[in-house]
Every structure is written in C-alpha cells, then in structure tokens.
Amino acid sequence: QMWPAKKDEL
C-alpha cells in the first residue's frame, strides 16, 4: 500500500 495522500509526516 502506498502512502496516503494525507501526509502525516514532517
């Protein structure tokens, strides 16, 4: 699964 569009990292 690729990263979600909502990026939770800085």
Partner 1 sequence: MNIFRLVGDLSHLAALIILLLKIWKSRSCAGVSGKSQIMFAMVYMTRYLDLFTTFVSVYNSVMKVVFLLFSFVTVYLIYFKFKATYDGNHDTFRVEFLVVPVAGLAVLVNHEFSFLEILWTFSIYLESVAILPQLFMISKTGCEAETITSHYLFALGIYRALYIANWIFRYYMEGFFDFIAIVAGCVQTILYCDFFYLYVTKVWKGKRLTIPA
Nearest-approach distance from CB 6 to partner 1, in angstroms: 5
For the bound state, the minimum distance from the C-beta of residue 3 to partner 1, rounded and expressed in Å, comes to 4
Touching partner 1, residues 1-10 (CB under 8 A)? 1-10
Q: How far is the CB of 5 from partner 1 (least distance, A)?
A: 7
CA-to-CA distance for 9 and 2, rounded, in angstroms? 14
**Can you tell me the distance from the alpha carbon of 4 to that of 6, in angstroms, rounded to the nearest whole number?**
5
**Which residues are near partner 1 by CB under 8 A?**
1-10
